[in-house]
Amino acid sequence: MSSVQQLSSFSFHAGSQMFIGAQALDHLPYVLHQRGISRPAVLHAPDREGTSLMKSVTDVLADCGMLFFPVVFRQDAVSLEEHTDAVIALGNVPARAAHQLAFQSGLPLAMVLTDLQNCTEAGNMHTGVFPDYLFLDPSAYPRAVPELTARTAVAALTMLTESLQQDRAHDISCCFSEAGIGQLQEAARQPLRSLQARHAAAEAALEAALVRSNTGAGTVSSVCQALSSSGFTFPSEASAVLLPLLLAQMDQHGGRFLFSVGGSREILRLLDEFVPSAGFPRRTDQILALARSTAELSHQHHGRDILRLFDTAGAEA
């Protein structure tokens, strides 16, 4: 009689080489030279964020005498020069477009993000297009917008908490989740207008995106994404409303992963720290109603999951 041994495994893709902190952009010429890149295209948007990042990157590349092709991103198709040998995307919207460019051309991809990013740029790694390099340098951040920093923190907190669900968590992903929540705790100790808080929230967002690229979107994030695609603004506002329902369900099922970051009480404390500064309209009843109707119409697993949240919490939409 033979016995069958069941093996379980876990694969975690860290994906990008990350450069985070003061003077992180100083490493850009080095990594380009290391890859033999000499004529990169720099994709940027004609807005405040794009202008700020473009100035910082231009200064860094000019100091080492590297040629580059500036490309202004607009909603129409983006074309690259014939001899372009890499794509550097500056800011949020160009980063999303750069994924498609890199996929089509096979060129190396670098992203330079700011504290205004909303967790989806690096999170696009779950589509199979991984940026080679990610840069997060506070010296390149544009003028502070506390509302956007708070919304970034709420979105990151939601993704990080979801990754701690008992059926999704693993010791490796939990390490990244704990690091991200630690960054949010640091951000909560500082004025949101300060560079320290903005950078901590941005780091937490990158940790959240990295975890999501490996564990997939959770229940709340899936519904928020569905609401956003239907035209609902401020998806992180929906996160703020639905996250307490998820925590109630997680408390009911227990689990050591949530306890490792201080339990649901600590997550709710952080949520209370950021939501007042996020400038959300007060639309709790509307969000609950939309979330329930979206879940009832969904044939995907997150639809059933969100309905279970309402049943667990006893919420009425």
pLDDT of 211-238, one tens digit each? 877 777 777 777 777 776 666 656 678 8
* 23 torsion bin: left (phi>0), alpha (psi -120 to 50), beta (else): left
Mean pLDDT over the full length of the chain = 78
* DSSP structure class, residue 136: E
Name the token pair of 83: 């001899």
Res. 268 pLDDT band, cuts 50 70 90: very high
Higher pLDDT among residues 162 and 168, named by residue: 162
* Contact criterion met (CB below 8 Å) for 57 and 88: yes
Burial (CB count <10 Å: 0-12, 13-18, 19+), residue 74: exposed
Spell out a b/e string for 80-105, using b for 16 or more CB atoms within 10 Å of the CB, else e.
beeebbbbbbbbbbbbebbbebbeee
What is the pLDDT, as a whole number, of residue 123?
Answer: 46
d(CA 97, CA 22): 26
What is the pLDDT, as a whole number, of residue 6?
Answer: 41
What is the pLDDT, as a whole number, of residue 9?
Answer: 46
Map out the domains of the chain as residue ranges: 17-140, 146-313
Higher pLDDT among residues 298 and 273, named by residue: 273
Higher pLDDT among residues 223 and 314, named by residue: 223
Of 69-83, 91-105, 157-171, 271-285, give the range with the top mean pLDDT.
271-285
Check whether 128 has a pLDDT greater than 70.
no
Q: Which CATH class is domain 146-313?
A: mainly alpha
Residue 2: helix, strand or coil by DSSP? coil
Residue 71: helix, strand or coil by DSSP? strand
pTM summary value: 0.79
β-bridge pairing 17-20 and 69-72: unpaired
Check whether 28 has a pLDDT greater than 90.
yes
* Contact criterion met (CB below 8 Å) for 97 and 89: yes
Mean pLDDT of 111-124: 62
Name the token pair of 167: 């059926």
Identify the residue whose tokens are 């989740």: 177
Name the token pair of 244: 């307490």
Kindly report, residue by residue over 56-98, the tens digit of the pLDDT: 999 999 888 888 888 888 765 667 777 888 889 888 777 777 7
| Domains 17-140 and 146-313 are alike in CATH topology | no
Higher pLDDT among residues 285 and 244, named by residue: 244
17-140: CATH topology: Rossmann fold (3.40.50)
Check whether 8 has a pLDDT greater than 70.
no
* Contact criterion met (CB below 8 Å) for 41 and 158: no
Mean pLDDT of 255-272: 85
- Tell me the β-bridge partners of 110: 88, 133
